[in-house]
């Protein structure tokens, strides 16, 4: 696959971070590889914790022309000067997010393995649709987003599609021809050298 035809990388933060420790690791990855977007996806529901992380990561991301979106916390997008929101409830909140944030903000929707949810989210104003996980993680109900779903979507629907969850080199190689983005998080952050781990996934695209 030609480099220009490869899917783009969409980075996801770990669920818990120390901004002072994580910031340099993030900067090293962004300096080593082209990244289309960064998602702040913390497990905490504490607004101050999310805000502190967002302030630190926004500076790093925006200095490299990488947009920063936040998972779920719609109310924080404008307050923190972020570029948009990523929603985990399929199509349910997309229209409200679009109405609140306006046409320029990024609004993404995670739709598990449901093409119906994906189409509904797109009709409601989502900029991209995430499907996943691409392999059984042992969590949730065991539903997996199969290659056939991504292939059908990329054939029929113009809206960009993102593969997320349980990615490894084999799945990246298999899905590269039928996705627009790979959303990569713990797959690289748990490695001693995240930039090298991401490089291995990029090489697997072919």
Q: CA–CA distance from 202 to each of 118, 167, 173 (Å)? A: 26, 12, 9
Q: How confident is the model at residue 5 (pLDDT cuts 50, 70, 90)?
A: confident
pLDDT at 59 over 70: yes
Tell me the mean pLDDT in the region 66-79: 96
CATH number at residue 105: 3.20.20.70
Res 139: pLDDT: 76
pLDDT at 19 over 60: yes
Tell me the mean pLDDT in the region 51-72: 97
Res 79: pLDDT: 95
Question: What single string gives the DSSP state of each residue in 108-175?
Answer: EEE-TT-HHHHHHHHHHT-SEEEE--SS--SSTT-----HHHHHHHHHH--S-EEEESS--HHHHHHH
Res 137: pLDDT: 83
Which of residues 58 and 5 earns the better pLDDT score?
Answer: 58
Question: What global pTM score does this model have?
Answer: 0.96
For residue 161, the enclosing domain spans 3-204
Question: What single string gives the DSSP state of each residue in 48-80?
Answer: HHHHHHHHHHHHHHHHTT--EEEES-TTHHHHT
Q: How confident is the model at residue 1 (pLDDT cuts 50, 70, 90)?
A: low
pLDDT tens-digit readout, 135-167: 988 777 889 999 999 999 999 999 999 999 999
Number of domains in the chain: 1
CA atoms 178, 85, 118, 121: torsion sign: negative
pLDDT at 189 over 80: yes
pLDDT at 4 over 90: no
pLDDT tens-digit readout, 167-177: 999 999 999 99
pLDDT at 2 over 90: no
């Amino acid at each position: 696959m030609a480099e220009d035809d490869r899917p783009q990388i969409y980075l996801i933060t770990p669920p818990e971070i120390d901004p002072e420790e994580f910031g340099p690791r993030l900067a090293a990855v962004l300096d080593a590889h082209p990244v289309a977007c960064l998602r702040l996806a913390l497990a905490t529901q504490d607004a101050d914790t999310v805000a502190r992380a967002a302030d630190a990561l926004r500076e790093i991301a925006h200095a490299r022309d990488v947009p920063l979106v936040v998972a779920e916390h719609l109310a924080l997008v404008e307050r923190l000067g972020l570029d948009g929101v990523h929603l985990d409830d399929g199509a349910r909140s997309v229209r409200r997010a679009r109405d609140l944030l306006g046409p320029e903000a990024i609004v993404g929707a995670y739709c598990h393995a449901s093409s119906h949810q994906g189409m509904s989210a797109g009709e409601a104003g989502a900029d991209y649709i995430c499907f996943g996980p691409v392999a059984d993680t042992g969590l949730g109900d065991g539903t997996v987003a199969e290659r056939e779903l991504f292939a059908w979507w990329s054939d029929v629907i113009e809206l960009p599609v993102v593969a997320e969850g349980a990615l490894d080199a084999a799945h990246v190689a298999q899905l590269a021809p039928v996705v627009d983005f790979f959303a990569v998080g713990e797959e690289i952050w748990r490695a001693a050298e995240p930039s090298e781990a991401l490089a291995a996934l990029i090489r697997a695209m072919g």
